[in-house]
Amino acid sequence: MTLADQLKSFRIILASQSPRRQEILKQMGLAFDIQVKPVQEVYPQDLSGPEIPAYLAKLKAEAFEGQLEPHDILITSDTIVWCQNTCLGKPKDFQDAKRLLKMLSGKSHEVYTAVCLQTIKSQTIVVDCTKVYFRSLSDADIEQYITECQPYDKAGAYGVQDWIGLVAIYKMEGSYYNVMGLPSHLVYTELEKIAATINLNNYNA
Protein backbone atom coordinates (compact mmCIF):
# COMPACT_ATOMS: atom_id res chain seq x y z
CA MET A 1 0.00 0.00 0.00
CA THR A 2 1.41 3.38 -0.99
CA LEU A 3 1.64 6.29 1.41
CA ALA A 4 -1.07 8.10 -0.55
CA ASP A 5 -3.36 5.10 0.01
CA GLN A 6 -2.52 5.03 3.73
CA LEU A 7 -3.37 8.71 4.02
CA LYS A 8 -6.70 8.63 2.17
CA SER A 9 -8.67 8.93 5.40
CA PHE A 10 -6.53 11.85 6.61
CA ARG A 11 -6.56 15.51 5.70
CA ILE A 12 -3.12 16.99 5.16
CA ILE A 13 -3.06 20.73 5.82
CA LEU A 14 -0.13 22.64 4.34
CA ALA A 15 0.25 25.98 6.11
CA SER A 16 2.29 27.66 3.40
CA GLN A 17 1.67 29.98 0.49
CA SER A 18 4.93 28.90 -1.14
CA PRO A 19 4.19 27.56 -4.64
CA ARG A 20 7.41 25.56 -4.41
CA ARG A 21 6.34 23.67 -1.28
CA GLN A 22 2.93 23.07 -2.81
CA GLU A 23 4.48 21.71 -5.99
CA ILE A 24 6.80 19.38 -4.07
CA LEU A 25 3.88 17.86 -2.15
CA LYS A 26 1.96 17.43 -5.42
CA GLN A 27 4.95 15.68 -7.01
CA MET A 28 5.04 13.36 -3.98
CA GLY A 29 1.52 12.28 -4.95
CA LEU A 30 -0.14 13.68 -1.84
CA ALA A 31 -3.49 15.45 -1.64
CA PHE A 32 -3.62 18.43 0.70
CA ASP A 33 -5.50 21.57 1.65
CA ILE A 34 -3.82 24.95 2.01
CA GLN A 35 -4.52 26.99 5.12
CA VAL A 36 -2.35 29.90 6.13
CA LYS A 37 -2.68 31.85 9.35
CA PRO A 38 -0.90 35.14 10.01
CA VAL A 39 2.14 34.69 12.22
CA GLN A 40 4.65 37.28 13.38
CA GLU A 41 7.86 35.57 12.30
CA VAL A 42 10.07 36.84 15.11
CA TYR A 43 12.56 34.62 16.90
CA PRO A 44 14.80 35.06 19.97
CA GLN A 45 18.13 36.62 18.99
CA ASP A 46 20.12 34.00 20.88
CA LEU A 47 19.07 31.31 18.38
CA SER A 48 21.41 30.36 15.55
CA GLY A 49 21.49 28.15 12.47
CA PRO A 50 18.94 25.31 12.51
CA GLU A 51 17.39 26.54 15.76
CA ILE A 52 15.81 29.48 13.91
CA PRO A 53 13.66 27.63 11.34
CA ALA A 54 12.77 25.01 13.96
CA TYR A 55 11.45 27.74 16.26
CA LEU A 56 9.50 29.43 13.44
CA ALA A 57 8.01 26.19 12.09
CA LYS A 58 6.73 25.39 15.59
CA LEU A 59 5.43 28.95 15.95
CA LYS A 60 3.43 28.58 12.74
CA ALA A 61 1.94 25.31 14.03
CA GLU A 62 0.88 26.97 17.29
CA ALA A 63 -1.42 29.25 15.28
CA PHE A 64 -3.63 26.17 14.70
CA GLU A 65 -3.87 25.22 18.38
CA GLY A 66 -7.26 23.73 19.23
CA GLN A 67 -8.38 23.71 15.58
CA LEU A 68 -7.17 20.32 14.34
CA GLU A 69 -9.52 17.39 13.89
CA PRO A 70 -8.59 13.76 14.76
CA HIS A 71 -7.60 12.92 11.19
CA ASP A 72 -5.78 16.16 10.39
CA ILE A 73 -2.04 16.28 9.75
CA LEU A 74 -0.68 19.82 9.80
CA ILE A 75 2.55 20.66 7.99
CA THR A 76 4.32 23.94 8.72
CA SER A 77 7.77 24.86 7.51
CA ASP A 78 10.43 27.55 7.51
CA THR A 79 13.64 28.00 5.52
CA ILE A 80 16.65 30.20 6.20
CA VAL A 81 19.96 30.82 4.51
CA TRP A 82 22.88 30.81 6.97
CA CYS A 83 26.03 32.57 5.77
CA GLN A 84 29.01 33.61 7.87
CA ASN A 85 27.06 33.12 11.11
CA THR A 86 24.29 35.38 9.84
CA CYS A 87 20.67 34.51 9.07
CA LEU A 88 19.64 35.76 5.66
CA GLY A 89 15.87 36.05 5.42
CA LYS A 90 13.64 37.41 2.67
CA PRO A 91 14.81 40.70 1.13
CA LYS A 92 12.85 43.86 1.84
CA ASP A 93 13.51 45.50 -1.53
CA PHE A 94 15.85 45.61 -4.53
CA GLN A 95 18.82 47.00 -2.64
CA ASP A 96 18.39 44.49 0.19
CA ALA A 97 18.23 41.62 -2.32
CA LYS A 98 21.42 42.90 -3.94
CA ARG A 99 23.12 43.11 -0.53
CA LEU A 100 22.19 39.50 0.29
CA LEU A 101 23.36 38.13 -3.06
CA LYS A 102 26.66 40.00 -2.79
CA MET A 103 27.14 38.30 0.60
CA LEU A 104 26.58 34.89 -1.02
CA SER A 105 28.72 35.57 -4.11
CA GLY A 106 31.89 33.49 -4.21
CA LYS A 107 31.15 31.73 -0.91
CA SER A 108 29.46 28.66 0.49
CA HIS A 109 26.45 28.81 2.78
CA GLU A 110 23.97 26.50 4.49
CA VAL A 111 20.26 26.28 3.80
CA TYR A 112 18.26 25.02 6.77
CA THR A 113 14.63 23.98 6.43
CA ALA A 114 12.57 22.89 9.41
CA VAL A 115 9.27 21.06 9.07
CA CYS A 116 6.76 20.63 11.87
CA LEU A 117 4.24 17.80 11.45
CA GLN A 118 1.42 17.96 13.96
CA THR A 119 -1.69 15.99 14.79
CA ILE A 120 -3.97 16.36 17.80
CA LYS A 121 -1.79 13.82 19.63
CA SER A 122 1.74 14.38 18.40
CA GLN A 123 4.22 16.93 17.13
CA THR A 124 7.46 16.19 15.29
CA ILE A 125 10.01 18.73 14.06
CA VAL A 126 12.70 17.72 11.58
CA VAL A 127 15.47 19.93 10.21
CA ASP A 128 17.56 19.37 7.10
CA CYS A 129 20.73 21.12 5.96
CA THR A 130 22.15 21.57 2.48
CA LYS A 131 25.49 23.23 1.83
CA VAL A 132 25.45 25.38 -1.30
CA TYR A 133 28.47 26.76 -3.17
CA PHE A 134 28.18 29.96 -5.23
CA ARG A 135 30.67 31.13 -7.82
CA SER A 136 31.42 34.86 -7.91
CA LEU A 137 28.69 36.99 -9.47
CA SER A 138 29.05 40.39 -11.07
CA ASP A 139 26.84 43.29 -10.05
CA ALA A 140 25.29 43.13 -13.52
CA ASP A 141 24.37 39.46 -13.06
CA ILE A 142 22.88 40.14 -9.65
CA GLU A 143 20.87 43.13 -10.82
CA GLN A 144 19.58 41.27 -13.89
CA TYR A 145 18.46 38.34 -11.75
CA ILE A 146 16.64 40.52 -9.23
CA THR A 147 14.92 42.51 -11.98
CA GLU A 148 13.79 39.48 -13.95
CA CYS A 149 13.01 36.97 -11.16
CA GLN A 150 11.85 39.24 -8.31
CA PRO A 151 13.12 36.93 -5.54
CA TYR A 152 11.48 38.88 -2.72
CA ASP A 153 9.65 35.85 -1.30
CA LYS A 154 12.80 33.74 -1.03
CA ALA A 155 15.23 33.39 1.87
CA GLY A 156 18.63 34.70 0.83
CA ALA A 157 17.04 36.41 -2.20
CA TYR A 158 17.41 33.46 -4.53
CA GLY A 159 15.62 30.37 -5.76
CA VAL A 160 17.69 27.31 -6.61
CA GLN A 161 15.27 26.52 -9.45
CA ASP A 162 15.75 29.99 -11.00
CA TRP A 163 18.31 31.28 -13.50
CA ILE A 164 20.74 31.96 -10.68
CA GLY A 165 20.68 28.29 -9.70
CA LEU A 166 21.77 27.37 -13.21
CA VAL A 167 24.65 29.84 -13.48
CA ALA A 168 25.85 30.46 -9.91
CA ILE A 169 25.57 27.20 -7.98
CA TYR A 170 28.40 24.84 -8.87
CA LYS A 171 28.05 22.35 -6.00
CA MET A 172 25.55 21.24 -3.38
CA GLU A 173 25.94 18.85 -0.48
CA GLY A 174 22.52 17.59 0.57
CA SER A 175 18.97 17.73 -0.70
CA TYR A 176 18.06 19.95 -3.65
CA TYR A 177 14.43 20.03 -2.50
CA ASN A 178 15.52 21.22 0.92
CA VAL A 179 16.92 24.33 -0.79
CA MET A 180 13.59 24.74 -2.59
CA GLY A 181 11.90 24.86 0.80
CA LEU A 182 10.80 21.33 1.72
CA PRO A 183 13.05 18.32 2.46
CA SER A 184 10.70 15.86 0.78
CA HIS A 185 12.55 12.73 1.90
CA LEU A 186 12.15 13.67 5.57
CA VAL A 187 8.52 14.71 5.14
CA TYR A 188 7.71 11.41 3.42
CA THR A 189 9.40 9.39 6.17
CA GLU A 190 7.59 11.26 8.95
CA LEU A 191 4.22 10.94 7.21
CA GLU A 192 4.80 7.18 6.95
CA LYS A 193 5.42 7.06 10.71
CA ILE A 194 2.29 9.10 11.47
CA ALA A 195 0.11 6.99 9.19
CA ALA A 196 1.45 3.76 10.70
CA THR A 197 0.91 4.99 14.27
CA ILE A 198 -2.63 6.25 13.70
CA ASN A 199 -3.66 3.18 11.70
CA LEU A 200 -2.23 0.92 14.43
CA ASN A 201 -4.13 2.83 17.10
CA ASN A 202 -7.34 2.52 15.08
CA TYR A 203 -6.73 -1.22 14.69
CA ASN A 204 -6.23 -1.66 18.43
CA ALA A 205 -9.19 0.52 19.41
- Integer Cα distance of 118 and 133 in angstroms: 33
Residue 156 contacts by C-beta under 8 Å, 6 or more apart in sequence?
Answer: 80, 81, 83, 88, 89, 100, 101, 104, 109, 111
Q: Is 100 helix (H, G, I), strand (E, B) or coil?
A: helix
Residue of 5, 46, 72, 78 marked catalytic: 78
- Residue 39, Cβ density class (10 Å: 0-12 exposed, 13-18 middle, ≥19 buried): middle
Q: Is 96 an annotated catalytic residue?
A: no
Per DSSP, which regions of 84-107 are E strands? 86-88
As annotated, the active-site residues are 78
